[in-house]
Amino acid sequence: MATKAGDLPSTKRELDEMFHWMAEETHFQVDEIEVLCDLFKMLMTKAGVSKFTITRVVFRDLLTTSFKMSDGAMMDRIVLAFAAESDLDYRIGFKEFIYGLSVFLRGCLTQQIDFCFKVYDCMKRDGFITREEMHQLLSPCIVNSPSEEDTAEAITELIDLLLKKMGDAKDHRISKESFRAAVEKDRLLLQVFGPCLPDKKFVDSFITQNTLDIFRRRY
């Protein structure tokens, strides 16, 4: 796949123009996009096939350092949710970085629903969360069962409950439309398959000079 060098214009004038139309299309101000651009330049790979993109390992480091996320499998899903629809190689270009963070940090409910569903459906990207995917997502949440058999039973019961509440029990899957309708009725269901949005206390302190200083020391 071609690199995403074209994501970042080569001249200051073009870069300024990009920042302004990005500000119109995202939840960021121009000065915030400038800070995020500086961060992206620190984190992006400088050579090789991943040149001008942020790799999975580096983006996971960002999620861990800035948002205290620790579930490796969920972080991989978040990386894929940031990447373009056609990309399954975990590389994030500048535009994907800005537009993804806009939703991740400040998205409205509709955008958050789309993002969370994309995270949960990121492997197959077929528009459904299947029973198999639910099992993968929910397994880390069941940690106190006395045996593997009890754990499997608890997960199965939880999936059956969620299918009745959110999806199609006969087809054993949840469509995007069903997920949206359920969350609009009860916002507590937004991250029912695992946390994939940041805690607000970390959001408010992310786009700051302190974040740049932290990653300048790391990279």
Distance of CA 147 to the CA centre of its chain: 32
Least Cα distance to 36 among 204, 198, 206, 205 occurs for 206
Supply the pTM of this predicted model: 0.89
pLDDT-derived band at 3, boundaries 50, 70, 90: very low
The pLDDT tens digits of the residues spanning 164-198 come to 888 766 788 999 999 999 999 999 999 999 999 99
Q: Who wins on pLDDT, 131 or 5?
A: 131
Report whether pLDDT(110) > 70: yes
- Determine the residue type at 68: K
Distance of CA 172 to the CA centre of its chain: 25
pLDDT-derived band at 112, boundaries 50, 70, 90: very high
Enumerate the H helices of the chain as residue ranges.
12-25, 30-43, 56-67, 72-82, 94-106, 109-120, 131-138, 148-166, 176-185, 200-203, 209-218
The pLDDT assigned to 122 comes to 84
Report whether pLDDT(144) > 70: no
Q: Match 């990005």 to its residue by tokens.
A: 22
The DSSP code sequence of 8-57 is S-SSHHHHHHHHHHHHHHSS--HHHHHHHHHHHHHHSB-SSTTBTSB-HH
Three-class secondary structure assignment of 80-92? HHHCCCCCCCCCE
Report whether pLDDT(147) > 90: no
